[in-house]
A and B are shown apart, each in its own frame.
Chain A
Amino acid sequence: MRLRFALGLALLALTLPAAAQQKYLRNSGDWDAVKAAHLLRRAGFGGTPAEVQQLAAAGRDAAVDQVMNYELLPDDVEQRLAYLNLDLTRPGQPLQIWWLFRLAETSRPFQEKMILFWHDHFATGISKVRQPSYMIQQNQFLRRYALANFRTILMGISQDPAMMVWLDTVLNHRGRPNENYAREVMELFTVGIGNYTEQDIKEAARAFTGWSLVNGQFFFNSRDHDIGNKTFFGQTRNFNGNDIVDVLVARPATGRYLGRKLWEFFAYPNPEPELVEELAQVYLGSGYSIRAVMSAILRSDAFYSPNAIGALVKSPAEVVTFVLRQFPYFRDQRLLGQVVGDMQRMGQVLFNPPSVAGWRWGLEWINTGSVLARSNFVNRVLTLRTQPATGPAIAESLRNAGVTTPGQIVDYYAARFLPLPLTASKRQTLIDFLQTEDNGQPFKFDLNGASADSRVRQLMFLLLADATFQLN
């Protein structure tokens, strides 16, 4: 099944007219453990050494296939979520825990990463929507259609109850239009600023009239629909809402806008204009397939280039999810509520972006309050009280991996946690740290000694609180 899929993809690649001319999206197939770890961090939330090793042995195309074809992986998150007995009847922490649990436990991290992208792109906030069930419905829609055709995604989101409340589609009436959705669907979801006129917004708003919610479900109220002619993007006819979606999806500007946003989320900021053009061609040539665009991104030499490795800043969701997924003993359910609080102090509340424009990314995540929150989250996870006094046998697992000396221990965790190598000076600082007593006196580190466990945990803290870890 997988072979046929890979062949199918290869055939698709051959039929795309632009494939032969692609420069940034060229796939030379180069592969190694650094690229494998990078893929796991970007198309997911990082991997354990075993996961990195498995992917490193696979080669670029097979690795990307494995990551992207997540529907082939069994996932029991839904059943396990039911056991948490979360009260999802009112806005609050339980709703965030509902998603945080998935992030930490899913066997399909790329799927969740795509949902995070779409959640930011179609930013919808429970502060206005007020109904957790609506937010969950939108989230599940994105889960199902994360890599679908963009027409399917945009149509579904346009008629999604949370979105209809969020951007006032439900307040847009024949004769009394509300332009909120018409504006944002163009400005933020498809073609982007400068690629439409105020008149386009007014006319699109008229086309969207009649879109209503009845008992929490989309209902087209024809009596409230303005059936007159509208002039939209230079054409005049009695456009309805579906037509507006169709037009916007097909615009080359949408290909560029989406291509650029996906690249900035997954690869690096400020992509070269030619690269954006290549991505737009993939979007248009594939009939608006998000899967095709993501496949091109994740297979491209530019994605694995030095410009990309470590070029992003981890968002709060990526910080917590990376850390939680590193060790099973980090994933204690009692932690989840506190982690949600930590994420808030880092500046990100799932299901509640600051505005319809989503969150601000990159270095915008970094301020004095948020860096303290990141470090304190790491400290919380590493010092979880419910663990036995000596914690899981850290010493034993290190010994089993053949990691016993301070140098080996620092190298092991640095390679595991960081997207870029430690500088020689930092490495030495950490090695010295393992061999220093609390009072500052040197001492001989012994992995079997009584203080080894706490020192190694403190080492992990210093690495996960380091500036390099904040990069992705």
Chain B
Amino acid sequence: MAYNRREFLKKSFRIMAAGLAVPQFLAHTAYGAETRGASAAENTNVLVVIQFTGGNDGINTVIPFGEAAYYSNRTILGIPSQNVLSLDGKIGLHPSLAKFKELLDKGVAAIVNGVGYPNPNRSHFRSMDIWHTAQPEIYGTTGWLGRYGDGNLVQIRSTAPAVHIGTDVPLALHGDQLDVASIDTIGNFRLQTDERFPSSRQLVLDRYKLLHQDATQDPTQQFIQNVSVDALLASEDLQRLASGYQPAVPYPTTGLGNALRTIAQALSASLGTRIFYAQIGGFDTHANQLNTHANLLAQFAEAVSAFYADMVAKQQADRILIMTFSEFGRRVAQNGSNGTDHGTAGPMFVVGSKVRGELFGSYPSLTDLDQGDLKFNTDFRQVYATVLTRWMGVDAGSILGGDFAPLGFLV
């Protein structure tokens, strides 16, 4: 049990002190217009994080097919070299990533190889928490994006500054003040009223709003009221503004396809959302990995390809940046169940028209290992620092608790 927002009463006092005691909707009028008509100096870039949950096998994702050690360690799992989509004659992509390769070829996607952190942890929970908090040395309780949001999004007066496609709030998005909308589908993100009495709906919603604007001395109730009003307004806006959304290309009807389509739809509502977060699970391939992994990579490639094409058609491609990660890679050697066990370093992908389409980091050695696992050469916080400074336009040091040299994957 944890009260991550410290003592929750204190938290509410902080909100009141910050002048946000008034429900957001009273503080702005056409907030959609505000953000849409933002001045050139104001950053409206959007980050889309796609989490590969379970520990993606990086070695079969970006494949070192030029190394004998790859095939000698993976007599069953090794992808035949003629099937690998070569990048530079020595490493290449899994064939299921064909659609992602197309983005690379267009120069709108990049790969960062060998990403990890010192003293890697091979527990799903601990390692995922490390990636979420960007704090490998302590048991952090706020996320890197939560801290970013606390300092930068709380003020922008959006009713949905950060959106998670799912039903909880990932630790990465946990801040002290940042409100995160968890949307599983846009259809569900709506205050339901009795469908047998549609004529009552407006009256009920009006009274709901009124009750949640009640003057109260109780900071806890004040917080709940504010969040509720934001929820109602965000949902009304989403229903109203997003209902006209038509995808420019067909999306695959997979889990990730649906999630990215929902993101595209939410983006079209121009609510001022700056962070979207989606997950694709199933990567913990301890046994019989070949087909499962191939299907997951295909799901990713097809969904991201459709999403990017949709963004291009809607002229949003230069304000979105997609970033993928997983909590760890997997071991070099296959195990006795035709799968792989938890490992360490792995690749990250970024996609967007402002991406410099090259390879970053270096491919870890398959022979100079750390207890059978790859040694990382790029700290993941460098990738975060790149995103924070060069994409979101903020100081990364205070958010990451240190200086991490940004990489060059953004133009």
* Interface residues in chain A, defined as those with a beta carbon under 8 Å from any beta carbon in chain B: 120-121, 128, 180, 193, 261, 264-265, 269-270, 313, 344-345, 347, 354-364, 366-373, 375-376, 379-380, 382-383, 423, 425-426, 429-430, 433, 436, 438-440, 454, 457-458, 461-462, 465-468, 470-471
CA distance A376 to B184 in the complex (A): 14
Contact of A261 among B1, B5, B124, B190 (CB under 8 A): B1
In the complex, the answer to whether A425 meets B7 with C-beta atoms within 8 Å is no
B129 within 8 A of A: yes
Query: What are the 10 tightest A-B residue pairs by CB atom distance, in nearest-first order?
Result: A369-B182, A368-B231, A362-B8, A467-B224, A363-B8, A368-B181, A438-B199, A383-B194, A379-B192, A467-B221
Chain A residues near B208: list those with CB within 8 A. Answer: 375, 462, 465
Q: A429–B169 Cα gap in the complex (Å)?
A: 33
B195 touches A383 (CB 8 A): yes
- Interfacial chain A residues near B7, Cβ < 8 Å: 269-270
Q: Is B188 an interface residue (CB 8 A)?
A: yes
- Given A376-B191, A383-B195, A458-B194, check contact A363 B234 (CB 8 Å): no
Question: How far is it, in angstroms, between the C-alpha of A460 and the C-alpha of B193 when the chains are bound?
Answer: 12
A128, A347, A383, A468: which contacts B196 (Cβ < 8 A)?
Answer: A383
A467/B225 in contact, CB under 8 A: yes
* Contact string against A for B residues 1-44, beta-carbon threshold 8 Å, 1 for contact and 0 otherwise: 11111011101100000000000000000000000000000000
B386 interface residue per 8 A CB criterion = no
Residues of A within 8 A of B171 (CB): 354
A368-B162 Cα distance, complex, nearest whole Å:
10
A interface footprint on B189-214 (CB within 8 Å = 1, 0 otherwise):
11111111101101110011011101
Provide the residues of chain B in CB contact with A369, threshold 8 Å: 164, 167, 169, 180-184, 189, 231
Q: Is B373 positioned at the interface, with any CB of A under 8 Å from its CB? A: no
Q: Indicate if B123 sits at the interface (CB-CB under 8 A).
A: yes
Task: Tell me, in angstroms, the Cα distance from A376 to B235 when the chains sit together.
Answer: 12
Q: Can you give 7 A-B contacts (C-beta < 8 A)?
A: A347-B168, A362-B8, A372-B190, A375-B192, A423-B215, A430-B207, A467-B221
Whether the Cβ atoms of B2 and A361 lie closer than 8 Å is: yes
Q: Are A429 and B211 in contact (CB under 8 A)?
A: yes
Which residues, 77 to 128 on B, are CB-close (under 8 Å) to A? 123-125
Looking across the interface, which residue of chain A has its beta carbon closest to that of B7?
A270
Residues in B208-234 with C-beta less than 8 Å from chain A: 208, 210-212, 214-216, 220-221, 223-225, 227-228, 230-232, 234
A345 contacts which chain B residues (CB < 8 A)? 167, 182, 184, 188
| Complex contact B207–A429 (CB within 8 A) | yes
B150-162 toward A: CB 8 Å interface, digit per residue (1/0)?
0000000001100
Chain A residues with Cβ below 8 Å from B124 are: 128
When C-beta atoms are compared, the residue in chain A nearest to B201 turns out to be A438
Which of A382, A436, A458, A471 interacts with B220 by CB under 8 Å? Answer: A471
Is there an interface contact between B227 and A367, defined as CB atoms closer than 8 Å? Answer: yes
A458 with B5, Cβ < 8 A, contacts A368-B159, A372-B235 known: no
Instruction: Find out whether the CB atom of B235 lies under 8 angstroms from the CB atom of A347.
Output: no
Q: B310 an interface residue at 8 Å Cβ cutoff?
A: no
CB pair B216 A371 closer than 8 Å: no
- What residues of B have a CB within 8 angstroms of the CB of A423 in the complex? 214-216
User: Any chain A CB within 8 A of the CB of B57?
Assistant: no
Asked if A120 meets B1 with Cβ closer than 8 Å, knowing A345-B182, A368-B180, the reply is yes
Question: What B residues does A462 contact at CB under 8 A?
Answer: 204, 207-208, 211
B residues within 8 A CB of A466? 211-212
Q: What B residues does A128 contact at CB under 8 A?
A: 124
CB pair A360–B3 under 8 Å, yes or no, is yes
A121, A380, A429: residue with the most chain B Cβ atoms closer than 10 Å: A429
The answer to whether A356 touches B125 (Cβ under 8 A) is yes
A425, B216: Cα distance in complex, Å: 10
- Asked whether A458 and B179 contact (CB < 8 A) given A368-B234, A371-B224, A425-B215, the answer is no
